Structure 1
Amino acid sequence: MGYVAVRGGSKAVENAEKLVEYFRIKGESSLLDIEAVKDQFRLGIDKIMSEGSLYDRDLAAAALKQSEGDKIEASFLLRAFRATKPRAYYSTIEKTNEMRILRRISAAFKDVPGGQILGPTRDYTTRLIDYKLFNEDREAVNKFKEEFLEEINNKSEDELESRPEFPKVIDLLKEEGLLIHNDEKKKQIKPDTDITRDGLDFPASRSAALQVMARGETGGMITLAYSTMRGYGNIHPVLGELRVGYLPLKINHPEKDEEVVLGEVLVTEAEVISQEFSDNEDQDMPVFTVGYGICFGHNEEKAIAMAVLDRSMAADSSDAPAEDQEFVLSHIDGIEAAGFTAHWKLPHYVTFQSVLDRIRKSQAEGRVKDE
């Protein structure tokens, strides 16, 4: 594919940049404060941090404001910033069963140890426009917050101090010998890789595949996962467990032989369970396998889609798009996909003129032949 240089357009480019800024601020409404963006666009910020592969709520809010709400552009800005920073440390591995839970549900079992925690969710709300938002004022907001916090403060000390443990649902199946991991099934236990430094080769290890999906574009991953449920594949999973909560961020102290806690990271984790039938001589019993997904922030659809695709790519066949590892991992990065889509806006004068000349010549020859 050939391109030609564009000359004499620097002034037009500068004016285009000014016009973008003008369109962002041309209205007479109050300018959005970064804190307001961060607080009131919580889920959008979480998606940007996940797809931008950088956990920083302030920068994600600034990127969302700068991009006028364009999530892909905001993720692009965040990942570009990330690329300029050195990697100082690697965090230690954390057990998610020690997560500080905000939300935890299971669709596989009604009664699970620790109970179902609905947490902040719109799953049970009516999907209608809330017209009160047109006239929302600070006084009404403060009143709601006071009443809500008063209700919490009226709880007994036992209720507030109780910290229930939340064992993993899949561990219950493991204890009965009903579940195996995809790593065991496909023998994909390989040294961990860093896809931001080593690149991606196929077939990719499960660790590399999970890294790609962890920063994949939510909509693209949902589309591919949805295709498996529509019959383009043979995976019909059940949501074993979904968790939203905070994990401690720890690193090994550079000088002392100890771990240091730097803070907490909000994550969403999903584990889906699918029945596995196999003719493998080493596996003479039907078992369940698990698909795993985890991402920054509160983003349940992405974590579930990631878990479904993890399980789908472990299938013995690759008859469906979502079962083909190379197909899935090559098409779920929203920033890369948007970049390639944007390249069509670049000058293609030479290539198109070449095709145009061939078409004109072919039509002319065809008319002569007809005559």
Structure 2
Amino acid sequence: MYVAVKGGEAAIEKAHRLLADRRRGDRSVPALSLEQIAGQLSLAVDRVMAEGSLYDPELAAMAVRQSRGDMIEAIFLIRAYRTTLPRFGATRPVETAAMRIERRVSATYKDIPGGQLLGSTFDYTHRLIDPAMAGDHPVEPGARRAVAEDAAYPRVTDILNGEGLIEPDIASDAEPGDLTRDPTGFPAGRDLRLQALARGDEGFLLSLGYSTQRGYGRTHPFVGEVRIGLVDLEIDLPELGFAVNIGAIRVTECQMVSQFKGGGQDGPRFTRGYGLVFGQSERKAMSMSLVDRALRADEFDENRAAPAQDEEFVLSHCDNVEATGFVEHLKLPHYVDFQAELDLLRMLRREHAAEKTAETDRQEAAE
């Protein structure tokens, strides 16, 4: 809390009470429940979890309600709560190849093994306001979400890799960094870049991804595959000597197939961009994969000329919580700073007026 002068506490307390009143809205209308928000505004909840770096639909729904639907404020709340949680372990890397698929589409192959699975999507809607939304109509029987439990859905990039047509996806044995614990330095490894992008602002990444498609760091991308579904989380328990499944989370993964590079012994191959986020968030995962590929310019001896290729620019500005804090702090009192600038400007204007008068006097004397 920022209190610039004595007496500010009373005004701030009244502002809090007014905010609570506005948040509740019309008392004749039933209050939103967390179940309603999590169930019916699930994409908003998913974004808050993804950019807040904490997978908890109930907490995210609570943050959405507390913030009156301001997504960045809700993300800020989740981030702040996250810092209070103890860390007692780390899960094994999730195996997205074993994902229990809810939606899976590819723009590179029409007939992919396992088939295209449209699932829940706005892609084929007409973008017309539906008058039925004014009421409360039940879902038609059989239209609820289905999860493919046992079907096999090999990844498109694995198919390409089998023919040697795409760069291999090489796993590193190195311990990944943690940008929530250590300050980010430059140059940053891909592990830290992907972390920053995963919790970066969707709109910012969308704009950067779009810029790469318009020629600012062009990589000529194709969506190899976007898949949404449930992945299991496993944690190693030393006292048992094996991994234990502790639950499942919903994620969105995007494998972007980008323009080919290389030669020599391996020959030309497609390159990759990667995106993985909590919940259902295709736009974010796709944008992330586009920017990930752009940031790999040095790996492929590409000239880093576009904003999306500038690692420091992207990573320093993609975090919406940090960006919001720096922009919104301008609303706070800056009286002393402004008075100093005002005094300096007045002095400069006096000096300018004196010089102008002196110049006029010199001209008159010369005449």
CA drift at 1:117: 0.5
- Partner Cα distance (1:352, 1:117) in 2: 58
Contact 1:4 1:350 in 2 (8 A): no
Corresponding letter in the other structure for 1:341: V
TM-score, length-normalised on structure 2?
Answer: 0.90
In the alignment, which of 360, 364, 369 is matched to residue 346 of structure 2? 360
Distance 1:307 1:283 in 2: 27
Local SS of the residue matching 2:124: coil
User: Could you tell which deviates more after superposition, 21-30 or 200-209?
Assistant: 21-30
Q: Which residue of 1 aligns with 2:279?
A: 297
Matched, 1:265 2:249: yes
Aligned to 1:82: 82
Q: 1:10 maps to which residue?
A: 9
Aligned to 2:21: 22
Show CA shifts across 1:52-111 (max 9, x none).
100000000010001000000111111111100011110111221110000001001111
1:29 and 1:260, CA in 2 relative to 1: closer, same or farther beyond 3 A?
Answer: same
Q: 2:58 maps to which residue?
A: 58
Q: Please list, as runs of the form range in 1=range in 2, the aligned pairs for 1:181-330 lying within 5 A after superposition.
A: 181=168, 190-278=174-262, 282=264, 285-315=267-297, 316-330=302-316
The 5-angstrom pairing of residues 117-156 of structure 1 reads 117-134=117-134, 136-137=135-136, 140-141=137-138, 144-146=139-141, 148=143
By how many angstroms is 1:199 displaced?
2.5
CA offset at residue 320 of structure 1?
0.5
In structure 2, the gaps of 5 or more residues are: 358-367
Aligned residue identity for 2:47: K
Q: Verify: 1:337 aligned to 2:330, yes or no.
A: no
Contact residue 233 and residue 322 of structure 1 kept, 8 A: yes
Deviations 1:105-143 (A, max 9, x none): 100111111111101001001101111121x13xx41xx
Distance 2:311 2:342 in 1: 38
- Is the Cα contact below 8 Å between 1:183 and 1:206 reproduced in 2? no
State whether residues 194 and 208 of structure 1, in contact with CA within 8 Å, keep that contact through their aligned partners in structure 2: yes
Q: Secondary structure at the match of 2:276?
A: strand
Deviations 1:9-63 (A, max 9, x none): 1100100100101111241321101111111001000000001100000000010
Q: Distance in 2 between matches of 1:258 and 1:73?
A: 40
CA positional deviation for 1:204:
0.9
Deviations for 1:205-232, whole angstroms, at most 9, x for unmatched residues? 1111111111111111111111111211
Q: Against the structure 1 CA distance between its residues 147 and 262, is the aligned structure 2 distance closer, same or farther, given a 3 Å change threshold?
A: closer
In the alignment, is the contact (CA less than 8 A) between 2:114 and 2:152 conserved in 1? yes
Question: Aligned partner of 2:164: which letter?
Answer: G
Larger radius of gyration: 2
Does structure 1 conserve the Cα–Cα contact (< 8 Å) formed by 2:100 and 2:148?
Answer: no
> Could you list the runs of 4 or more consecutive aligned residues of structure 1 that deviate by over 6 angstroms after TM superposition?
none
Greater relative contact order structure (CA < 8 Å, 6+ sep): 1
* Paired amino acid for 1:304: M
Residue in structure 2 matched with residue 177 of structure 1 by the alignment: 164
Q: Check if 1:105 corresponds to 2:105.
A: yes
Amino acid at match of 2:167: I
Distance 1:181 1:226, change over 3 A: farther
Q: Deviations over 1:156-191 (max 9, x none)?
A: xxxx9983211110111111111114879xxx9854
Which deviates more from structure 2 when the two are superposed, residues 265-274 or residues 231-240? 231-240
Aligned residue type for 1:34: L
What are the superposed Cα offsets for residues 340-370 of structure 1, whole Å, 9 maximum, x if unpaired? 1111112111221111112111122222222
Mapped to 2, the partners of 1:364 and 1:296 lie a distance apart of: 59
Query: Conserved in 2, the CA contact under 8 Å of 1:103 and 1:119?
Result: yes
Q: CA deviation at 1:4?
A: 9.2
| TM-score normalized with structure 1 length | 0.89
SS for the counterpart of 1:109 is coil
Asked if 2 retains the 8 angstrom alpha-carbon contact of 1:189 and 1:205, the reply is: no
| RMSD (Å), alpha carbons | 2.2
Q: Partner residue of 2:361? A: none
Q: d(CA) in 2 for partners of 1:361 and 1:189? A: 62
SS at match of 2:317: coil
8 Å Cα contact 1:190-1:205 kept in structure 2: no
Instruction: Report the residue type matching 2:270 in the other structure.
Output: F
